[in-house]
A = this chain, B = another copy of it.
């Protein structure tokens, strides 16, 4: 008997059969007494189909207001079909678009932010014993125009609804059965975590983004909505994401997981003036190119000059290199060098806050595998190093072993 928001992504509702499968599990939970609000995405493939039609019509720049009108039809199809499937099983259900339950957002089409949700109709339906099915990813602005929340928006819709309705838990159903200590494709002994903290989940971005959207995690953290990641295809309790509290910290490991990212490229600008404004002179124009910068490292300089290194997505590498090279003189840089065959490996864990020596264990472990670290950055609960891409799997496995994350059972 719990009050839950359950969110099903595109793959989980990708066909009529899968929608019927979801309806069946919802009926079971409903029969067991759970109060349920369900958030769904567009059937997998639908959004891409719609986007490609839009691109065909407007090859250069797509009008975002109209794109939102177009894309929001994807979830609208799913809410109708899922409500029908529930009724077919004898469960009373009612569907709502974002506009109908007034998921009020700002007017930033295609990346709108939720301002408020009117829960009156939802609560009235729940009181009638209905399952309420809400379209994820979409809202409506003050003017009544349809908006969408951008990538991963359905996760955000689910968390926002759980927060507004004060639900016990927001459950995100995906095609994986939880958050793992690392990617099981790289380390077969990776273990599913029963719990993880919001902070750790955020720092595991590169791992976690395959599971749920970082923005939804932030949102859940902000409103303290317990978030659970589960598989829509196999049973299990998934991974619960909550704040770290005494109760859970008993079994708190030092390191919760090993995240990694092989899509990075590193660029170093050497011999620039070690004065205020240099970092901005380099990164300002790059962010204007709409390139996202991940790691930024600047070490102590010598002779009034310093070296400045940052990483970008590998796809942007050449563009950024060309851009900086064309401005080398202007920047007064001695050289501009780069490497697009690197990978980032991170250890993440709230446990490391109170335990010294985690970093040195990490570096020792990598050096014992003869892996050279090119860059190092740290945050309170995360240590990241950049290594040659070819050593990625070796490094992840070494660290997984070092911090005792493996379980005896082999995960396929």
Interface residues of A (CB under 8 A from B): 16, 19-20, 50, 53-54, 56-58, 62-63, 65-67, 69-70, 72-73, 76-77, 79-81, 83-85, 87-88, 94-95, 97, 99-100, 144-146
Q: Is the CB of B81 within 8 A of A54?
A: yes
Determine the chain B residues whose CB is within 8 A of the CB of A146 once the complex forms: 97, 100
Determine the chain B residues whose CB is within 8 A of the CB of A50 once the complex forms: 77
Q: Is the CB of B57 within 8 A of A84?
A: yes
With most chain B CB atoms within 10 A of its CB, the pick from A19, A54, A58, A80 is: A80
Q: How far is the CA of A76 from the CA of B66 in the complex (A)?
A: 10
Q: How far is the CA of A85 from the CA of B80 in the complex (A)?
A: 28
Q: Is the CB of B58 within 8 A of A69?
A: no
CB distance from A121 to the nearest CB of B (A): 8
Q: Is the CB of B85 within 8 A of A57?
A: yes
Q: How far is the CA of A17 from the CA of B58 in the complex (A)?
A: 12
Determine the chain B residues whose CB is within 8 A of the CB of A83 once the complex forms: 63, 66, 69
Asked whether A87 and B73 contact (CB < 8 A) given A57-B20, A81-B57, the answer is no
Determine the chain B residues whose CB is within 8 A of the CB of A53 once the complex forms: 16, 77, 81
Q: Is the CB of A70 within 8 A of B66?
A: no
Determine the chain B residues whose CB is within 8 A of the CB of A77 once the complex forms: 50, 53, 70, 73
Q: How far is the CA of A67 from the CA of B76 in the complex (A)?
A: 11
Contact of A87 among B58, B81, B145 (CB under 8 A): B58
Determine the chain B residues whose CB is within 8 A of the CB of A66 once the complex forms: 79-81, 83-84, 87, 95
Q: How far is the CA of A62 from the CA of B87 in the complex (A)?
A: 9
What are 30 A-B interface contacts by the 8 Å CB criterion? A16-B53, A16-B56, A16-B57, A19-B57, A50-B77, A53-B77, A53-B81, A54-B81, A58-B85, A58-B87, A58-B88, A63-B84, A63-B87, A65-B94, A65-B95, A66-B81, A66-B87, A66-B95, A67-B80, A69-B76, A69-B80, A69-B83, A70-B80, A70-B81, A72-B76, A73-B73, A76-B76, A99-B99, A100-B144, A100-B146
